[in-house]
Amino acid sequence: MWWSTVPMPSGLKSSQIHHNSALYPVLRIQMDTPSRPEPLYGKEGDVDKLSSATQLISLEVGASDASQSKPIITPIYHSSTYYTKKCKDFVSQVKDGYIYQRMVTPNFEELSMIISKIEHGVGTVDFPSGMGAIFNTLMCFLHPGDHIVVSAPVYSGTSFALRNLMPQFNIEVSYVDASRDVELYRSATKPNTKMYFAESICNPMMWYVDIEKLAVIGREQNVLTVVDGTFSTPINQTPLDYGIDMVMHSCTKYMGGHSDLLAGCTTVNNIDHYRKLKAWQTFTGVSQSAHNSVSLLRSLRTLHVRMKTHNENAMEVAKFLEKHPKVKKVYYLGLPSHPQHELASRTMKGLVE
Ligand SMILES: *Cc1c(COP(=O)(O)O)cnc(C)c1O
């Protein structure tokens, strides 16, 4: 059999692996580890009692017992589901433990805690992509008949969703050039305005929206303020410190930083907002995978050094281009010649040499 050549962990007897060719191949693997706990559901041999249609792969867990040594990083928990020993434990396990991967996994939880920490928020919900974070945050907090004011231009994906998807849910969208004048949010406000949205800094022109004033206008008008901080990352700007209600990222960009993952997140400064968004995620099913959470966590460990180098390199390129005879204009907030340099320096780090 093909699997007889596959190296086995110690304790496994290859004679105990056999092929049941009824309908599906059935791998029954008996581990020869005396300390291994009894499986909670079913016993070795029970699979024979199943009809061939339900004989899938019965592979008992617990092949290795590493519990004596504590790993310094959290292992990847691929398990979709967790054991509950007694029915009465289920509720407390939903609240404080792990039940099902769509709700929370140790990896997902660790990622959320770390992003909350660097973003100075009370809670973070991770999504499978930046668009997942943006669309689901908007849909969670906006209802049919509501109005959102957006600083234009915005990232093309966000622009597409605002123009083409929001009308389907009867959500009204207005655009303002808030990097020219942040007060335009106030003048665009209507009785049904529920959210102000800005990118900080803006993709692709890197204009700056005065997020300190935006937070003040939001509070005065009782409107939620939401910032897409993808281009700044929490290393260069932490919008929640300036009174913004929610900050989201496409972690596919600098936060991931290695072009090998797609991820997004939304961090909030209010526990009720966190609960609402977390429940929205759980029941719309847009959860981040354990594997991606671990890849992103690994990236975040070097975010500060990567951003420092990005900032230094960007400044070099900007200064080089500014002096270049064939270049008419350079838009870079770090250059003192940029009209918003002073303003942006109030909330943004990383703009100076
Ligand atoms: C790329 C990007 C997004 C979308 O993120 P995905 O991870 O590609 O879904 C959203 N906002 C900004 C500013 C971006 O640059």
Q: What is the pLDDT of residues 201-260, one digit of tens each?
A: 997 788 999 999 999 999 999 999 999 999 999 999 999 999 999 999 999 999 999 999
Quick check: is 91 in a domain?
no
Q: What angle do CA 163, 168, 173 make, to 5 degrees?
A: 40
Quick check: is 99 in a domain?
no
36, 100, 241, 253: the active-site residue: 253
Q: What is the pLDDT of residues 118-168, one digit of tens each?
A: 999 999 999 999 999 999 999 999 999 999 999 999 999 999 999 999 999
What is the CA(180)–ligand 1 centre distance, in A?
Answer: 23
| Number of domains the chain contains | 3
Helices 290-300 & 106-119 angle (0-180, nearest 10)? 30
Helix (H) or strand (E) segment spanning residue 248 = strand 246-250
Quick check: is 121 in a domain?
yes
Which atom of ligand 1 lies nearest, measured to the CA of 154? 13
Quick check: is 57 in a domain?
yes
Residue 36 contacts by C-beta under 8 Å, 6 or more apart in sequence? 60, 62, 65
Q: What is the pLDDT of residues 113-130, one digit of tens each?
A: 999 999 999 999 999 999
Given 300, 315, 334, the domain boundary residue is 300
Quick check: is 7 in a domain?
yes
Quick check: is 322 in a domain?
yes
User: Residue written as tokens 């808030």?
Assistant: 178
Same-domain pairing of 56 and 177: no
Confidence of residue 45 (pLDDT cuts 50, 70, 90): low
Given 32, 48, 65, the domain boundary residue is 65
Same-domain pairing of 263 and 314: no
Chain mean pLDDT for the chain: 85
Same-domain pairing of 178 and 259: yes
Quick check: is 73 in a domain?
no
List the residue whose alpha carbon is closest to atom 1 of ligand 1: 250
Same-domain pairing of 180 and 231: yes
Can you give the pLDDT at residue 92? 83
pLDDT: which is higher, 84 or 63:
84
Confidence of residue 46 (pLDDT cuts 50, 70, 90): low
Q: Considering only 26-40, 47-61, 131-145, 223-237, which range has the smallest mean pLDDT? A: 26-40
Same-domain pairing of 330 and 209: no
Q: What percent of the chain has pLDDT over 90?
A: 71
Q: Considering only 105-109, 180-184, 187-191, which range has the smallest mean pLDDT? A: 105-109
> What one-character DSSP code corresponds to residue 81?
B
What is the CA(263)–ligand 1 centre distance, in A?
Answer: 9
Same-domain pairing of 258 and 166: yes
Same-domain pairing of 121 and 260: yes
Can you give the pLDDT at residue 26? 32
Same-domain pairing of 171 and 56: no
Same-domain pairing of 13 and 154: no
Are 16 and 29 in contact, with CB atoms under 8 Å apart? yes
> What are residue 247's DSSP bridge partners?
227, 267
List the residue whose alpha carbon is closest to atom 5 of ligand 1: 130
Can you give the pLDDT at residue 66? 63
Quick check: is 329 in a domain?
yes
Judge whether 253 counts as a catalytic residue.
yes
Same-domain pairing of 241 and 341: no
Same-domain pairing of 154 and 124: yes
**Which structural domain range is residue 28 located in?**
1-65
Residue 326 has pLDDT above 70, yes or no: yes
Same-domain pairing of 267 and 159: yes
Judge whether 185 counts as a catalytic residue.
no
> What are residue 211's DSSP bridge partners?
none
> Of the candidates 212, 281, 266, which has an alpha carbon nearest to the alpha carbon of residue 244?
212
Which atom of ligand 1 lies nearest, measured to the CA of 252? 7
State the Cα–Cα distance between residues 101 and 281, nearest whole angstrom: 12
